Chains A and B, each alone.
Chain A
Amino acid sequence: MELILSTVINGLSLGGIYAMIALGYTMVYGIAKMLNFAHGDIIMVGGYVIYVFMAFHNPLLAILMAVVFCVILGVVIEKVAYKPLRGASPLAVLITAIGISYLLQSLAQIIFGSANKMVTVYDFGSVTFLGATVQVSALVTLGVTVIVMAALTLFVKYTRIGRAMIAVSEDKGAAQLMGINVDGIITVTFAIGSALAALAGLFYLLKAPSISSTLGAMPGIKAFTAAVIGGIGSIPGAMLGGLLLGIVECISYKITVIAPYTDAIEFSILIIILLVRPTGFLGKKRREKV
């Protein structure tokens, strides 16, 4: 019982991180119609920025700087690498995104070396809850994720910029005719996605206080899996997919026989979902137009 409870809470917390990253993917995919491969590596950049600013022993400053830096980085990447390719074939954009991801990873390795860096942002300790011992940081992660998710849903539904985002994701041309600054909206989307990635980086450091240049690669792919499971382009879908994947991962790690194959199991879920229900749980089916 205790084991189940702690596994589920850990799973939800990990799922929260995935959901946070998946949100960035899903929003960028919905609006710019591109798969931002570099998104996972922004998590890693966020982690390193926190590492650097923790020299001042002020977690809040470090977190703030990480968010600001990641937002600037995300916007710069969008302007420099993706904007010139708007209107080009999707394949070209995808390859550029992979190039950016590779660039960030190798730059980080050059700057910080290939060895893992240790950094403790804040030690929350642990708490015993109904007999199960749970890290408080896991609860904090879960709480922050839920708040961010709710805020984002409200933002998209009720603000001008949020509604403009929906319009752009529905039809770029029509949105432009309605007087929406499409380029501006895409920039805002990248900024939000990068800020979420920075937070995800923070949560990774809370979970395990070690950071390397490939920190973001695997979570990035898994978060995309989560986004596809939930239905790409859907904000609640990203949340659902992320939490589901997190729980699956934590349960799989607890079962000794299949523990080494956890990654394989998660990706098999992706393949099965694509086979059975390509639009995911909450995704909408779009008709193809010429």
Chain B
Amino acid sequence: MKTKSKSFDMKHYINYIVIGIFTLVFGIFSLAGGHLSNSMVFLFEKIAISIILAVSLSLVVGFLGELSLGHAGFMCVGAYLGGKVACLLEPMLGNTAANLLVGLAVGGICAAVCGVIIGIPALRLRGDYLAIVTLAFGEIVKSIFQNTSDESFGGALGLTTPRYDKKYLFIFAFVLVIITLIIVQNFIRSKHGRAVTAIRDNEIAARATGINVTKYKLIAFTLSAFFAGIAGVLYSFSNYTVQSVKFGYNYSIEILVMVVLGGMGSINGAIISAALITFLNTKLATVLTGDLAVLQNLLYAIILILIVIYNNAPKLKSFRAKYNIRNLMSKIIKPKNDPSKRKDDDAKWDVVPTKIEMNEILSIDVKPQKLGSDKKEGGDK
């Protein structure tokens, strides 16, 4: 039994391995003097930023069950403050890794502080307040940075930031992705993470078991804001200017689409869809120009609506059970250990459970059809 619980389960580490191998291959290729085109390197950086954003938002939307519409706002804080610090330190440290690290720390911590300030009033309450407060926060941040003087944060023209050496930045970015994954995934599997998922599933029950609901909500939200800030700093290092207009509502929605498309509560899903959407965005940006660029937004809106209705509509439950990717996959690849055949000792306690439908469990005994079928059986006898 003990050896089993210690055994190395590929499933938990697959995302580290894939991203690690990817980083190693391209990193060595780049460092060895191989030629990576500018657009490709830029795409890699963008993908890494998107993954960090999606994974951190997934923590709030998928695991905490709250909606944050100001993720781009936290990113904006990170990008401006981290970028500014990097600018100020450039004469001293030069454009080096130390500069990058200091920028990351400052940007991330500032975003986290903003997360605490926003989270305290909004997370004490139940309902959709966090969505509206974060939305308002995004707008506040945007308007503040837009109205700054030219010397401080560049005002409407944007802050000029040191562009990091593109040979190395994407390697740093992917290393940061892995660090983000390690922290977020371990957080979710820890005691704190369990408290967070418990709050998502039933807040009153969670409170009844002695979980300090506001505290855990705040921890998860702050962590998410911190990584959004980190992504923002990366953004400021991968671009020459940081403009607050970029971090509007639309960008927050784009990140939300990544999380929803990947499946709420699935980190790997968020990673895949973040990479996919970022890739599509850069490809579509060249095809759809001018007024056609809106088609992209239309596509996102439709994806968002259809996926949420398909995944959540109570009436589509039987349809979902019949036709889903997991069933299809299991028909092709026979699963080694079917969860239904597992004995209680083999049950995995380190896997985060998906949402438990309490109402269903409670209502099983009083289903009228069951009573009817019982009678029929009796009649036949």
Interface status of A202 (Cβ within 8 A of chain B):
no
State whether A264 touches B144 (Cβ < 8 A).
Answer: yes
When the two chains form the complex, which single residue of A88, A100, A263, A270 contacts B313, counting CB atoms closer than 8 Å?
Answer: A88
Inter-chain contacts of B260 with A (CB < 8 A): 95
Return the chain B residue nearest A95 by Cβ.
Answer: B308
When the two chains form the complex, which single residue of A99, A107, A264 contacts B304, counting CB atoms closer than 8 Å?
Answer: A99
Mark contacts of A103-117 with chain B using CB atoms, 8 A cut-off: 1 yes-contact digit, 0 otherwise.
101110110011000
Q: Which residues from 307 to 333 on chain B have a C-beta closer than 8 Å to any C-beta of chain A?
A: 308-309, 311-316
State whether A89 touches B312 (Cβ < 8 A).
Answer: yes
Inter-chain contacts of A290 with B (CB < 8 A): 204-205
Cα–Cα, bound, A92→B304 (Å):
10
Interface status of B271 (Cβ within 8 A of chain A):
no
Known: A228-B132, A271-B121. A110 touches B294 (CB 8 A): yes
Inter-chain contacts of A263 with B (CB < 8 A): 139-140, 143
State whether A35 touches B312 (Cβ < 8 A).
Answer: no
State whether B304 touches A98 (Cβ < 8 A).
Answer: yes
Minimum CB–CB distance from B263 to chain A (whole Å) comes to 13
Inter-chain contacts of A92 with B (CB < 8 A): 308, 311-312
Interface status of A217 (Cβ within 8 A of chain B):
yes
Segment of B91-99, B226-234, B295-303 in the binding face: B295-303
Known: A110-B298, A114-B294, A217-B249. A274 touches B131 (CB 8 A): no
State whether A278 touches B125 (Cβ < 8 A).
Answer: yes
Across the A-B interface, give the 9 residue pairs with the lowest CB-CB distance, nearest first: A267-B136, A99-B304, A103-B301, A92-B312, A99-B305, A102-B301, A275-B121, A106-B297, A88-B312
Inter-chain contacts of A89 with B (CB < 8 A): 65, 312, 355
Q: Which residues from 130 to 155 on chain A have a C-beta closer than 8 Å to any C-beta of chain B?
A: none
State whether A103 touches B204 (Cβ < 8 A).
Answer: no
Return the chain A residue nearest B128 by Cβ.
Answer: A35
State whether B305 touches A96 (Cβ < 8 A).
Answer: yes
Segment of A11-19, A79-87, A159-167 in the binding face: A79-87
Minimum CB–CB distance from B206 to chain A (whole Å) comes to 12
Q: With A221-B135, A261-B143, A271-B121 given, name 5 new contacts (CB 8 A).
A: A35-B128, A85-B308, A96-B304, A98-B253, A109-B297
State whether B128 touches A94 (Cβ < 8 A).
Answer: yes
- 20 A-B interface contacts by CB (under 8 A): A81-B309, A84-B309, A88-B313, A90-B127, A91-B67, A92-B308, A92-B312, A99-B304, A102-B301, A103-B298, A109-B294, A264-B140, A267-B139, A267-B140, A268-B140, A271-B133, A272-B121, A275-B120, A275-B121, A278-B121
Cα–Cα, bound, A290→B144 (Å):
42
State whether A91 touches B137 (Cβ < 8 A).
Answer: no
When the two chains form the complex, which single residue of A102, A225, A261, A272 contacts B147, counting CB atoms closer than 8 Å?
Answer: A261
Cα–Cα, bound, A45→B260 (Å):
27
Return the chain A residue nearest B208 by Cβ.
Answer: A290
Return the chain A residue nearest B125 by Cβ.
Answer: A278
Cα–Cα, bound, A288→B127 (Å):
12
Chain B residues within CB distance 8 Å of chain A? 61, 65-67, 69, 118, 120-122, 124-129, 131-133, 135-137, 139-140, 143-144, 146-147, 204-205, 249, 253, 256, 260, 264, 291, 294-295, 297-298, 300-302, 304-305, 308-309, 311-316, 355
When the two chains form the complex, which single residue of A86, A217, A228, A261 contacts B144, counting CB atoms closer than 8 Å?
Answer: A261
Return the chain B residue nearest A213 by Cβ.
Answer: B294
Minimum CB–CB distance from A21 to chain B (whole Å) comes to 14
Inter-chain contacts of B128 with A (CB < 8 A): 34-35, 90, 94
Cα–Cα, bound, A274→B66 (Å):
16
Minimum CB–CB distance from B78 to chain A (whole Å) comes to 19
Inter-chain contacts of B120 with A (CB < 8 A): 275
Cα–Cα, bound, A90→B125 (Å):
14
Cα–Cα, bound, A113→B293 (Å):
11
Return the chain B residue nearest A84 by Cβ.
Answer: B313
When the two chains form the complex, which single residue of A35, A81, A87, A288 contacts B314, counting CB atoms closer than 8 Å?
Answer: A87
Inter-chain contacts of A204 with B (CB < 8 A): none
State whether B314 touches A88 (Cβ < 8 A).
Answer: yes
Inter-chain contacts of A48 with B (CB < 8 A): none
State whether A221 touches B294 (Cβ < 8 A).
Answer: no
Mark contacts of A207-244 with chain B using CB atoms, 8 A cut-off: 1 yes-contact digit, 0 otherwise.
00000000001100100110010000000000000000
Inter-chain contacts of B298 with A (CB < 8 A): 103, 106-107, 110
